[in-house]
Structure formats: C-alpha cells, structure tokens
C-alpha cells in the first residue's frame, strides 16, 4: 500500500473502447484479485458522484503500489494515467481536490493588505485554482470531493496561520476582487466594442486618465478591441484591472508582449496601488519574468509539484530568497529539491571568443514605410554561423522590419542587399488556427519528425510529447508558443528569427527552450536571432547583442552586433536601469533608481556586468 502516492486519470484521454483495459489487465493488485483499477461505474466507495464516463477507469490510491510500479502508466496507449509519489513532507490532506483521480492542490497563497505577493512556478500547478479559491469562485473541499465544501471548515484548517485574516473577511463577504486573465488574446472574443468602452466600465477609482497616459493607451482609445495588438491588449487589460476599486487584485502574468520600459511602468503602477495609504489593497501576481518579479513583489510563494497531477504552494518567502531557492532548485524550509541542477548566470561578461565563418556581412540599410511615418536605419554589421544573437529594444522600433529585410520580403529604400537569406520566422503573435493535430502539423514541416534526434533536440526540451495528439486550436498560449518554436526550428533555414519566445512560458520552459535554441544553432551551424524582453532569458541565450534604439513608431536605429558587455551597457543606459548581483547566487537584480549602487554603476558606465 502506498498512501503517499497520487493517481490522476485524464478523462479527456482515457478511451476504454479503444484499449481493452490494458492498464487493469496488467495492474499487479488487479492480477491478485484486488479492485485497484476498476470502471468508474463500479466505484467501490459508493456515494461519491461519478465524473466522466462509467466505462472510464478509476484507480484506488489505497491499493495502488505507487510510482515505482507505474505499469499502468506504461501500458496506457493514450498517456491518460499519472502515478506520482507525493513528497513525504506533505502530511496534510490537500486544500482542494477536483474529484476522484483528479488534480490536487496543497496550500494557498497569502494575500496581505499593502503587500504585493508573488507566485513563482510552472504552468499547470494549480495557481489559477488557488486564485479562484481566494476570489471565492471555488470553495476548497480539503480533499473531500464527495460532500459539500464549506468555508468554515477551511477557516478551521487555516486558523492561526497567516491566511486566517483573509479568509475571515472572505467569509464575511467583505472582499471585492479584480482579476486580469493570463491569456489576453481571448479578450476580443468576450468583448465587442472599442478600448474606451471597455475601460470606462471599469473606472471605479477615477484613475483611468492617469492609467491611460502612463500605459500609453491614448492612441488606441477609439480602436475596436478586436483590432489592437497583443501588447496593446495586455496594457488595456492591466489598466482595466487596476482601474477597479477592489480589496484583492489578482494579475496572472503582466509581461507578455510588453517591452522592458512598459514592464517597469506596470510594476510601478502595481506598487503604487499596494502602497496607497487610503486603502488596504492586496496584490497577487503570477509572473515568470524574474527580474520584474524580483522588483515588484514583497513576498513570494514558490509553487512546485507535477503539472496536471498535484501542486504545492509554499509558505511565503522573502522575494530574494524565494527566487534564489527556485533558481538553486532547492527549497530550504521545505527541504525539497525541485530540480536536479541549478540555473546560473555569468557574473562577468563572457570572454570574446574567436568567431567562426561569417554568415553574412550586411551594408548600412534604410527603410521607411508610407510617407516616412516610420523609418529605420541599420548600421552595417556581420553575423556569424552558429551564434545566437540577442536582439533588444522597445516595441515598434523596427526589429521585425529588419528580419523582413534580411528575408527579402521587404525592400530597402534604395539599392538591394546583395543577398537574401532563407529565414525561418516565429512571429511575436502566433496565429495557428488550422484544424490540425500537433503531430500532423509538425510532421508536415520536417522529415526529421519522429526521429530520435528530433525527439531529443526539439520535442523533449519543448515538452511536446504530451500535446502531440491535441488540435492546434485547443492549445493554451504556452503550448502554442512551444509548438511555434518547434515549427520554427524544424524548418531548414540559414537564419532562425524568434520573436519573443518567452511569452507565456514558465521559467523552466524558458530555460529549456533557451538550451534547445542554443544547441540547435550550434549543431546545425545555423544562426539564431532571438528578440526578447526577458533579461534573464537574453542573458542565458545570447552570444552577442544587437541593440535597437530610437522613438517607437517613428524612428528606429539598429546598432551593429556587439559583445555582451558593450551591448548590455548601451541597451540599459538607454533605459536608465542598472543591475547589481545577488551576493549569494550572482544572479542579476535591478537596482533601486538613485541607490548608491545605481549611481556608482552609472558613473562607471557598467550597467550589467560588474
Ligand atoms: P495553473 O494556473 O498553475 O496553470 P490551474 O489551476 O489552471 O494551473 O490547473 C491545475 C490543474 O487542475 C490542471 O491540470 C487542470 O487540468 C486541473 N483542473 C482545473 N480545473 C479543473 C476542473 N474543474 N476539474 C478537474 N481538473 C481541473
Ligand atoms: P518591432 O518589431 O520592433 O516591434 P516593427 O518592425 O514591427 O517593430 O514596426 C516598426 C514600426 O513600423 C511600427 O510603428 C509599425 O507600426 C510600422 N510598420 C510595420 N510594418 C509596416 C507596414 N507594412 N506599413 C506601414 N507601417 C509599418
Ligand atoms: Fe496498478 Fe498502481 Fe501499478 Fe498502476 S501503478 S498498475 S494502478 S499498482
């Protein structure tokens, strides 16, 4: 008996009419006559409501031998079963379990007035479930999914803990909630009207004008919501949430599609709302851009577990320790390893390496659109085979225009470039709406699909195997991103251009995607040009940097590719941001403006590497 294991059956995948119950036929307890795997319709402990089809399977967690057996997991042709040993440290019952053989959440985040509470952790680990509970959209059942859940029982469980205060108020219905959803791309499906109409509904604090100004929303106020870009939608959604007058604000990801300047503005707005002395507001933010999370949050819950199976919210940690422990892969108080190896950053700029074969040497280029509404000037430069070139700069400055110039799909103002490269391009906003399965889509792109090489280099690091059979149209934002990165890398090309691969990926997925892109470039003598606004991702990914500056939507300038140190200095000087190094781990942290370190580093002209 393994009472410390959890069995989850994915009812969307379990198809007993197509498998002959291989799982139950091979399950060792079943073979000795016990009812470990049964049909849901024959569920032993009667009284519980049966979800799913009565012919689908149900696994008894009392009888199951646990992860070390795992025979059913192997036997199921549809990957419908997960058996995972729970960490021994989890001695309590879950806070919420969705049902029999369904996802279990342990712990809850603690909102506190005047505080920005961060949540850091992978997707699928119960963050939204926790937030639904705190927003009173779901009453946690403490693992008893059969009966009626009630808040008094939850309060009993958390009496004496830091959550007691919040729960008491929640039960007294004294808490109002404002929420920003994770996938802003869905908003146009739910709202028909223009930006002004959407925002005016939300202006409960009389703060809309200021939000519109600081988030630069003015130019799109009269545009229909279904015509604005993802970055604009993100800012509108943030404004709509922060304009409300609520006690509890929950923002699920604030950075996708925003450049660093915009990220800093949003972080400041959230901070100011928490610090408002006339109100007691609690802010809860899920965020995967660690530099921004570090800047923004006061305390942090690390979420860990197994996506789709179980998730644990740790007690609150200081934001510095929380991020350090997360990167380290080891949670101190919990005595829990969450990753075999740590994620580390170079404290000093990488040494200038000798460059290999040039891929292309390009001349000065100019390009303007229309009557010169936007113009781009590109300094001449050289790109080498096998390198990963980081591309940084604000939105609307001409980065994708440069990629199109290289690809030959856009002509420079005068003359030709004398070359055009085969480019494989992943745009910032991914639109895949073909009614097709992921595996059919990817195998239509590359003959290498299904080879062990492709599997190791692309499918595994991008965690594609579990979504291969899904329809492209059913994928979440993060899943779509991973498929789009895979599709981009699978195309034969001279130059791989990836625009914001970090969007909607959690930290683990960013690190994995980073190493997949790097390895791919090295092994194929291919060159990758990666546009991203997550400084940690750029740091881990890039060999050199190409820095854009200018005035967005008016004029852009692209400098020649530079070494990391010079590139970071140029880029961050323009933004007026310096980074110090964490004393324990050496990871970069944004300095407080005007602090001693900030002023000293600006005087020294060292914005990133010490
Ligand atoms: P996150 O916000 O961390 O991505 P979620 O809280 O959205 O995670 O989901 C955690 C897990 O709970 C997912 O595997 C999801 O499939 C499962 N889940 C969510 N809602 C339900 C539900 N109503 N019934 C059963 N499982 C659910
Ligand atoms: P980035 O990739 O840095 O966000 P882009 O190269 O996409 O910037 O765009 C730079 C500017 O050029 C933006 O103001 C954009 O609206 C404008 N622009 C892009 N493509 C066109 C086009 N085909 N016609 C007119 N203006 C364009
Ligand atoms: Fe049976 Fe559990 Fe083994 Fe699956 S893991 S075959 S349910 S004992």
Take atom 7 of ligand 2 and give the residue whose Cα is closest: 400
Reply yes or no on whether the pLDDT at 350 is more than 90.
no
Tens digits of residue pLDDT in 142-176: 999 877 889 999 999 999 998 999 999 999 988 89
Closest CA to 307 of 130, 516, 103: 103
602: number of Cβ within 10 Å: 18
For residue 42, pLDDT over 80 is answered with no
Does ligand 1 come within 6 angstroms of the Cβ of 228? no
Q: Provide, for the chain, the percentages of residues in helix, strand and coil under a 3-state DSSP scheme, each rounded to the nearest 5.
A: 35, 20, 45
What confidence tens digit (pLDDT) does each residue in 180-213 have? 988 888 888 888 899 999 999 999 999 999 999 9
Note the pLDDT of residue 267: 96
Pocket test for ligand 1, best of 118, 129, 301, 305 (most atoms within 8 A of CB): 129
Identify the residue whose tokens are 């062990």: 452
CA distance 127 to 507: 14
Q: Using the 8-state DSSP alphabet, how is residue 529 labeled? A: E
**Percent of residues, the chain, with pLDDT higher than 90:** 72
Report CA(433)–ligand 2 centroid distance (Å).
24
pLDDT at 2: 47
Residue 269: which H helix or E strand, with range?
A: helix 260-275
Q: How many CB atoms lie under 10 A from the CB of residue 549?
A: 18
| Predicted local confidence at residue 43, as pLDDT | 62
What pLDDT is attached to residue 313?
A: 95
The yes-or-no verdict on residue 1 having pLDDT over 50 is no
For residues 352 and 358, the model is more confident at 358
Q: How far is CA 532 from CA 118, 387, 472, 591, in A?
A: 22, 16, 24, 21
Q: Which ligand is nearest to the CA of 126?
A: 1
Encoded tokens for 153: 């029982």
Q: Which atom belonging to ligand 2 lies closest to the Cα atom of 410?
A: 23
> Does the structure show a pLDDT above 60 at 317?
yes
User: Residue 606 forms beta bridges with which residues?
Assistant: none
Q: DSSP characters for 72-126? A: HHHH-TT--EEEEEPPTT--SPPSEE-STT--EEE------TT-EEEEE--TTSS
Q: State the distance from the centre of ligand 3 to the C-alpha of 26, rounded, in angstroms.
A: 8
Cα 52 to middle of ligand 1, angstroms: 16
* pLDDT in the model for residue 609: 87
Q: Is the CB of 80 under 6 A from ligand 3?
A: no
- Measured by CA distance, the residue closest to atom 1 of ligand 1 is 124
Pairing of β 330-331 and β 177-180:
unpaired
Tell me the per-residue pLDDT of 372-415, one tens digit each, with 9 for 90 and over: 899 999 999 999 998 999 999 999 999 989 988 988 889 999 87
pLDDT given for residue 371 in this prediction: 85
Per-residue model confidence (pLDDT) at position 451: 94
Burial group, residue 335, by CB count within 10 angstroms (0-12, 13-18, 19+): exposed
What's the pLDDT score for residue 148? 83
User: How remote is the CA of residue 63 from the centroid of ligand 3, in Å?
Assistant: 8
Taking residues 510-528, report their average pLDDT.
89
| Structure confidence at residue 304 (pLDDT) | 95
CA angle 548, 553, 558 (to 5 degrees): 20
Instruction: Tell me the ligand closest to 399's alpha carbon.
Output: 2
Across the chain, mean pLDDT equals 91
pLDDT at residue 10 in the model: 93
Record the pTM: 0.91
Among 114-118, 121-125, 427-431, 544-548, whose mean pLDDT is lowest?
A: 427-431
Question: Quick check: CB of 72 below 6 Å from ligand 3?
Answer: yes
Task: Looking at the CA of residue 556, tell me the nearest atom of ligand 2.
Answer: 10
Structure-model confidence comparison of residues 355 and 221, the more confident one: 221
Q: How far apart are CA 528 and CA 449, in angstroms?
A: 21
Ligand 1 atom 13 nearest Cα: 308
- Higher pLDDT: 427 or 75? It is 75
CB atoms within 10 A of CB 289: 26
The string of pLDDT tens digits covering residues 544-603 is 999 999 999 999 999 999 999 999 999 999 999 999 999 888 899 999 999 999 999 999
208 lines ligand 3 (CB under 6 A): no
Residue 51 has pLDDT above 80, yes or no: no
pLDDT in tens, 271-295: 999 999 989 999 999 999 999 999 9
In degrees and rounded to multiples of 5, residue 428 shows phi and psi of: -65, -45
The stretch 225-230 carries a mean pLDDT of: 89
pLDDT value of position 346 = 80
Position in ligand 1 atom list of the atom nearest CA 182? 2
The verdict on the CB of residue 70 being under 6 Å from ligand 3 is yes
The interface pTM score, or ipTM, of the predicted complex is 0.90
Q: Is the pLDDT of residue 47 over 70?
A: no
DSSP for 34-82, written as a single string:
--SEEEGGG-SSTTSPPPS-TTSEEE-TTT---TTT-HHHHH-TT--EE
> pLDDT value at position 214?
97
- Mean pLDDT on 480-489: 95
Task: Output the pLDDT for position 419.
Answer: 79
Tokens of 603: 């005087």
Q: Which ligand is nearest to the CA of 11?
A: 1
Q: For ligand 1, is residue 125 a contact (CB within 6 Å)? A: yes
Instruction: Indicate the pLDDT class of residue 69, thresholds 50, 70 and 90.
Output: very high
Q: What is the pLDDT of residues 398-408, one digit of tens each?
A: 998 998 898 88
Q: Which pLDDT score, from 0 to 100, does residue 98 have?
A: 94
Q: CB within 6 Å of ligand 2 — which residues?
A: 369-370, 374, 395-401, 553
Query: Rounded to the nearest whole angstrom, what is the distance from the C-alpha of residue 181 to the centroid of ligand 1?
Result: 15
Q: State which ligand 1 atom lies nearest to the alpha carbon of 131.
A: 6
Note the ligand closest to the C-alpha atom of 74: 3
Ligand 3, atom 6: closest residue by C-alpha: 27
pLDDT, residue 48, reads 58
Distance 578 CA to ligand 2 centre (A): 29
Atom of ligand 1 nearest to the CA of 252: 2
Q: Which residue, chain included where needed, has tokens 């419908």?
A: 80
Query: Looking at residues 102-107, what average pLDDT do you find?
Result: 96
**Whose CA is closest to atom 25 on ligand 1?**
98
Predicted pLDDT at 262: 95
Q: Whose CA is nearest to atom 4 of ligand 3?
A: 72
């Amino acid at each position: 008996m393994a009472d410390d294991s959890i069995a989850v059956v994915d009812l969307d995948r379990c198809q007993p009419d197509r498998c002959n119950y291989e799982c139950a036929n091979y399950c060792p307890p079943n073979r000795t006559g016990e009812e470990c795997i049964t049909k849901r319709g024959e569920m032993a402990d009667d009284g519980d409501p049966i979800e799913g089809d009565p012919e689908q399977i149900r696994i008894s967690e009392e009888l199951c031998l646990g992860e070390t057996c795992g025979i059913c997991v192997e036997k199921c042709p549809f990957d419908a079963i997960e058996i995972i040993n729970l960490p021994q440290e989890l001695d309590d019952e879950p806070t919420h379990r969705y049902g029999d053989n369904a996802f279990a959440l342990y712990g809850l985040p603690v909102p506190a007035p005047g505080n920005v509470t961060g949540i850091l952790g992978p997707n699928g680990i119960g963050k939204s479930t926790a937030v639904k509970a705190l927003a009173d959209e779901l009453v946690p059942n403490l693992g008893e999914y059969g009966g009626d859940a009630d808040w008094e029982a939850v309060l009993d469980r958390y009496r004496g803990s830091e959550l007691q205060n919040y729960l008491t108020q929640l039960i007294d219905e004294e808490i109002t909630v404002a929420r920003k959803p994770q996938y802003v791309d869905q908003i146009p499906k739910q709202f028909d009207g223009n930006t002004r109409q959407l925002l005016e509904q939300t202006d409960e604090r009389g703060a809309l004008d200021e939000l519109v100004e600081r988030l630069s929303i003015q130019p799109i106020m009269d545009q229909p919501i279904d015509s604005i870009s993802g970055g604009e939608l993100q800012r509108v959604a943030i404004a709509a949430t922060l304009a409300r007058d609520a006690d509890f604000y929950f923002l699920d990801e604030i950075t996708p599609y925003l450049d660093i300047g915009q990220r800093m503005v949003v972080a400041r707005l959230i901070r100011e709302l928490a610090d408002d002395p006339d109100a007691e507001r609690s802010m809860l933010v899920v965020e995967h851009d660690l530099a921004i999370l570090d800047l923004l949050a006061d305390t942090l819950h690390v979420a860990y577990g197994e996506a789709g199976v179980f998730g644990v919210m740790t007690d609150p940690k200081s934001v510095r320790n929380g991020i350090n422990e997360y990167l380290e892969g080891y949670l101190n108080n919990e005595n829990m390893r969450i990753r075999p190896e740590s994620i580390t950053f170079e404290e000093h700029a990488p040494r200038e390496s000798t460059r290999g074969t040039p891929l292309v040497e390009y001349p000065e280029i100019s390009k303007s659109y229309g009557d010169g509404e936007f113009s781009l000037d590109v300094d001449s430069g050289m790109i080498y085979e096998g390198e990963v070139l980081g591309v940084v700069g604000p939105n609307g400055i001409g980065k994708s225009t440069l990629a199109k110039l290289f690809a030959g799909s856009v002509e420079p103002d005068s003359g030709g470039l004398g070359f055009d490269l085969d480019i494989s391009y992943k745009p910032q906003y991914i639109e895949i709406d073909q009614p097709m399965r992921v595996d059919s889509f990817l195998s239509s792109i590359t003959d290498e699909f299904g080879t062990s090489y492709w599997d190791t280099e692309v499918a595994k690091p991008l965690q594609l195997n579990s979504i291969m059979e899904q329809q492209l149209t059913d994928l979440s934002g993060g899943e779509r991103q991973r498929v789009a990165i895979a599709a981009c890398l699978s195309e034969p090309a001279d130059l791989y251009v990836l625009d914001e691969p970090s969007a909607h990926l959690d930290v683990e997925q960013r690190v994995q995607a980073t190493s997949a892109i790097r390895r791919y470039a090295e092994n194929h003598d291919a060159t990758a040009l990666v546009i991203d606004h997550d400084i940690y991702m750029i740091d881990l990914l890039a060999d050199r940097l190409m820095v854009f500056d200018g005035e967005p939507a008016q004029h852009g300038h692209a400098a020649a590719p530079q070494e990391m140190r010079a590139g970071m200095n140029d880029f961050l000087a323009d933004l007026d941001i310096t980074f110090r190094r964490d004393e324990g781990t050496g990871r970069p942290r944004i300095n407080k403006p005007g602090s001693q370190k900030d002023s000293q580093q600006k005087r020294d002209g060292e914005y990133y590497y010490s």
